Amino acid sequence: MWLTALIIFVAAQFALVTAAPLALVHHYRVPYEIVKDDLRNIDLAMATVQNFIQRQAIDDYVIILGDSVGYSGPGGPEQAVSRYLADIAASAGGPAVFNFSLPGAQIGDIYVLMLKLQEHGLNPDWLIINLLYAGFVARVPDPPPVFWLRDELARLDQAADLVTAPAYPPEERTQTAAERVETTIIEWGQRYIPALAYRDYLRAALLGPAMTYAQAEGSTPVPWYEKPWLDSYLRQPEYLRGYDPAPMVMDDGNPNVFFLKRIAAQAAPDTHVLFFNSPVNPVLLADLQRTDGYQANLRAIDQLMLELHRSYARVDYVNYTRAIADPLFVDHLHLTPEGYAQLAAMLWDEIGMVR
């Protein structure tokens, strides 16, 4: 009996590595709730997507990288821009779409995600990356330019880490002796026991609705005009800072500029990179958008991206800041499902123009 148990256990591990279904790790996007608690899960998702692409012999695919806009918060995966883009692509016989965006991701995280894609052999035809005006605003010192994947930046591009790290010393991590030993055991186990490596995804698949309820994800997004408190909420300093009209520093001293150049330079040679400046709510942020400083900064961003396009032919850029009407926003930045559907249609047009 014990030998049978061992054989079945080993066989299950083998099956998990070779035939894990895509839906286990990626359902229109990688699940933030799973990735945020253990960033190793992003590697597992990439490995599984790569495995899926090989098994299905897919040779034409798009990958979206970005922050909460790329991720398409606050809606569920079925309301994500990647879902709508996948639907349009499927109806046109076009590429498969994968989304590795992470809420809270900064430009440095997006750069690391791109390097990780390459590490996993994922070289899409199109890499779509969302940018934010706030990303170019001076960091004083927060938010750090690499929020999630600092350790991975040091591993994958030490030079970039050395440039950006001094202003952001790593957080002190205090662990008890038991926690240190436990972490070591789990890290070892995750390397050799797939059931342990996939544990967060397996648990989510098994628990399903209970987990969704506990995490309050996937609730129906409410448009911004149904939230009377939102206007005053967004006038708090931490939000206003993201739309600071003060002139932006547009040289390599700005982490966004530094990492954008790095992304453009290090993207795989046969990958088109489409950056889009994310839409903003034209009514909720009307006062700010009318300021000369804001407009000048937007022009500076456009100019930077134009220069990148001139330097790297595979890099394209489109400015969507005023592209979506206010009823399709849930706040100043994030969209309703209809808003994400419109964004997907616009992105499809961009891809189509170049295809």
Partner 1 sequence: MAFNTLLFVGFLAMVVVGYFAWPRQRQWLLAVANAVFYGFAGLPHLALFLGFSWLTYRCSRARGRHWLWLGIIANLINLAFFKYLAFILRSLTAAWPLPSLAAAGSWAAEVALPIGISFYTFQMVAYLADVLRGEIEPSQSWLEFWIFIAFFAQLIAGPIMRGRQLLHQVRSVGQVRWDPQRQELGLMLLLSGLAKKMIIADTLAPIVGRLYADAATLSGGQAWLAAWLFGFQIYYDFSAYSDIALGIGRLVGIRVARNFATPYVSANPREFWRRWHITLSSWIRDYIYIPLGGSRHGFARSLVAILAAMALSGLWHGANWTFALWGVYHGLLVVGHRVWTRLVPAVPKLDWLARILMFQLVTLGWVLFRVTDLETATALLTRMLSPGSSGWWSGVGWAGAAACGGLYAMHWAEHWALGARSRLLRLWRAFPAIIQGAGWAIAVILLLAFTRPEASSFIYFRF
- Residue ranges binding partner 1 (CB under 8 A): 1-9, 12, 37-38, 176-179, 181-182, 185-186, 189, 193, 195-196, 198-199, 202-203, 206-207, 209-211, 213-216
Nearer to partner 1, 198 or 276 (CB): 198
Pick from 228, 220, 272, 197: which is nearest to 46 by CA?
Answer: 197
Nearer to partner 1, 185 or 345 (CB): 185
Nearer to partner 1, 159 or 178 (CB): 178
Rounded Cα distance between 219 and 228, Å, is 19
| Long-range CB contact pairs, 193-197, < 8 A, 24+ | 193/13, 194/13, 194/16, 194/17, 195/12, 195/13, 195/16, 197/40, 197/44
Radius of gyration of the chain measured on its C-alpha atoms: 21
Rounded Cα distance between 143 and 297, Å, is 19
Nearer to partner 1, 159 or 216 (CB): 216
Pick from 311, 318, 317: which is nearest to 266 by CA?
Answer: 311
Nearer to partner 1, 15 or 306 (CB): 15
Rounded Cα distance between 61 and 43, Å, is 18
- Express the helix, strand and coil content of the chain in percent, nearest 5 each: 55, 10, 35
Nearer to partner 1, 177 or 353 (CB): 177
Neighbours of 262 (CB within 10 A): 20
**Closest approach of partner 1 to the CB of residue 41, in Å:** 10
What are residue 290's phi and psi, to 5 degrees? Answer: -80, -15
Q: Which two tokens stand for residue 202?
A: 């397996």
**Closest approach of partner 1 to the CB of residue 47, in Å:** 17
